[in-house]
Amino acid sequence: MLILRRYAVLALAGCAVGHPLGAQATRPAVHVIATGGTISNLGDSGRLSGKQLVAAIPRLDSVARVSVEQFSNVSSGEITTAQWVALARRINDLFAARPDLHGVVVTHGTDTLEETAYFLDLTVAGCRPVVVTGAMRNPTMVAPEGPANLYNAVRVAAAPEAERRGAMVLLNDEIFAARDVAKTNTVRLNAFGAPGRGPIGVADPEGLAFARPPAREGCAAPVFGLGTLTDLPRVDIIYSYVGADSVLIDAAVAAGAKGIVVATVGRGGSTPGQDRALDRAVDRGVFVVASSRTGSGRVPVARATELERWKPGKGAQFGADDLNPQKARVLLMLALTRFTTAKDIADSFRKF
C-alpha cells in the first residue's frame, strides 16, 4: 500500500503541473503498451498497471499526449511467440488507424526484452519508432529507475529524429538499436549493451543525441509481414560444450523443430557428436544456424557455392553473422515463415 500511495502522490504531482488543453494539442501523440515485467512488479502486492506507471511520471504531459493500453501483465519469461505475433499486429493496426500517432512505447521485462524488440523491428511496418523499455529495479526497491526509463522512452518515441530507426531499446539513458542490443548483466542498471556496436544515442536531460543517421531507407512494408500467422515455427537453441553429444539435437528434431540454432564454441565450432546429429537434422529438412556463445564476434554466413549444393527437401547449415543465439532464433523463425530454400534463408542473415 505504501508503494501505491507513493505512486498516487507522484501522479498528483504530474497532474498539478499539467499544461493547458491548447498546448497539449501541439504535443506528439505516443501510445504506451504495457506487458508487465520488473517495471510493474510489486512482489506479493501484485503489479502496477500501465496507466499507473504512466500516471506516476511528473510532467510527462509536457513531452507527449500519452495513451495507454494493457496488453498483458506478466514476467518477460511468460511472453510467448504467439504474443509476439499479436503484439506486432496490434502495433501495425495502431499505426494504420492513427496517422497522428508519432510512436509506440512497449514496457517489458528485461530478461527477454531484446528478443521482443528484435521481433518488432522485423515485423512492424512504417517509419515511426517503437521503443521498448523496462527496469532492473522494481517499484518496491530503493531508487527504482523504471519511471525515468519510461519517461525517456516516451521522449524518444515523440522525437522526430527517432523516425526511420525501427525498433529501439531505452534503458539507463542509453538508446540501442533492437538488432544490436543484449542483456549483459543480471542486476546492474547498465545491464544492457551492444557488443561490438555500442548505443545509437543517449537521452540526456537537455535533449536526445543520436550518434548515427537513421538506418532505414524505406518506410512501407515490414521486413517480414505477418499475414495470417498466429504463431511461429518451432526453433530450438542447443548449447555446445565439452562432451556435448547428440541427445538434445535429436530430441529437438523429434519434437518437430523446423530450425536449430547452435550456441557454438568459438567461431562456429561444435563437438563431433553434435556434428553427426546436425547432419542428420539437415537430411530431415531442418535448417541449422551457428551463433557463437561468446557474446560477441561473427560466425560467417555460408558462401554462395556452399548453398548451391542445397537440394529441395533438405535443410542447410550456415552462420548467424554477429547475431547472438536468441536473436538468431528470432530471425530464423521469421525466415522460415517466408522462405524454403537455403539461399533465401541465408540471405536473411546477410541482410538483417
Annotated active-site positions, please?
Answer: 38
DSSP code string of 118-136: HHHHHH--SSS-EEEE--S
What's the CA gap between 338 and 222, in Å, rounded? Answer: 13
Q: Say how many CA atoms lie within 13 Å of 198 toward its Cβ.
A: 6
Helices (H) and strands (E) in the chain, counts: 11, 14
| Amino acid type, 158 | A
Instruction: Please name the residue that has the C-alpha cell 545509437.
Output: 200
Question: 313's torsion region: left (phi>0), alpha (psi -120 to 50) or beta?
Answer: left
What's the CA gap between 76 and 59, in Å, rounded? Answer: 28
Instruction: Please name the residue that has the C-alpha cell 497539449.
Output: 24
What's the CA gap between 27 and 217, in Å, rounded? Answer: 26
